[in-house]
Amino acid sequence: MAKRLAPAKTLHVAAEPALDAARTLVGALILAATALIALPPDVAFAADPATPPPTNTAPAPEPPGFWTGPINSAVPATVARGKVISDAHRLRTLLQRPGTVVIDVSNAPRRPDNLATGAPWLPLPHQAIPGSLWIPGAGLGEIPAPVDDFFRKQLAAATGDDLTRRVVIYCHQTCWLSWNAAKRAIGYGYRNVYWYRDGIEGWQAAHFPTAVIEPRVAPEG
């Protein structure tokens, strides 16, 4: 009579530690996922420094005058008596047309206050849309008279005193500087002012080339 084998029991006993370990792992994963879901959104994003927290991109209403609140905040979807560009490909087509002037009004980097006197300081190269004139300070809500006069003269020189020339103004995403500068140029009488709402980040996201440029700063009076 053949001898009865009992391999199933032996295999079952040998597999029990592995099954226990698997159950423990699955339970830990479920607990971790539950804890992550329960966290507020900002805490969950903060755990990954490579992922920025979500920002509110809902358009802000246009103020009656220049914006003097926080520079980096939600911006309007429009600029009164001006045109808005929110597509880098459309902007590139516009820049290829002869006579278009493009102005960058991003802030210039400033030397850190806590840097020791005499210590070398080398700001990062300023990346811009090729052909841009960089005029920092022109997009502040309130600007000194010399800066206002300088901006007006720079626009006049770049356009040949032609108020019908196309003028594109930009800075960064969710940044009021370019909105203010576009509104200021419209106030000077320019009739074809374009505000590139997505800024240099939108241009770079389309994988278009940039150029390193130097600022044009109002002379100190």
| 195 plus 130 within the same structural domain | yes
* pLDDT tens track for 106-141: 998 777 777 777 777 677 899 999 999 999 999 999
| 157 plus 87 within the same structural domain | yes
**Residue 101: its H or E element:** strand 101-104
Better pLDDT: 79 or 221: 79
61 belongs to a structural domain: no
115 belongs to a structural domain: no
Better pLDDT: 163 or 115: 163
* Token pair 């850190």: residue: 112
| Dist CA 217 CA 139 (whole Å) | 13
Mean pLDDT, the chain, rounded, equals 80
Taking the complete model, does pTM exceed 0.75, yes or no? no
Name the residue among 197, 196, 200, 218 with its Cα closest to residue 210: 200
7 belongs to a structural domain: no
| Dist CA 126 CA 121 (whole Å) | 15
| 33 plus 129 within the same structural domain | no
* Token pair 């140029």: residue: 185
98 belongs to a structural domain: yes
> Would you tell me how many other CB atoms lie within 10 Å of the CB of residue 192?
19
| 177 plus 132 within the same structural domain | yes
Query: Any idea what the CATH number is for the domain that residue 182 is in?
Result: 3.40.250.10
Min mean pLDDT across 13-22, 152-161, 197-206 is at 13-22
* Token pair 């990062």: residue: 124
* Helix, strand, coil content of the chain in percent (nearest 5): 35, 10, 55
Query: Does residue 146 have a pLDDT over 50?
Result: yes
Domain of residue 156 covers: 83-109+125-212
2 belongs to a structural domain: no
Name the residue among 143, 53, 163, 20 with its Cα closest to residue 101: 163
Number of domains in the chain: 2
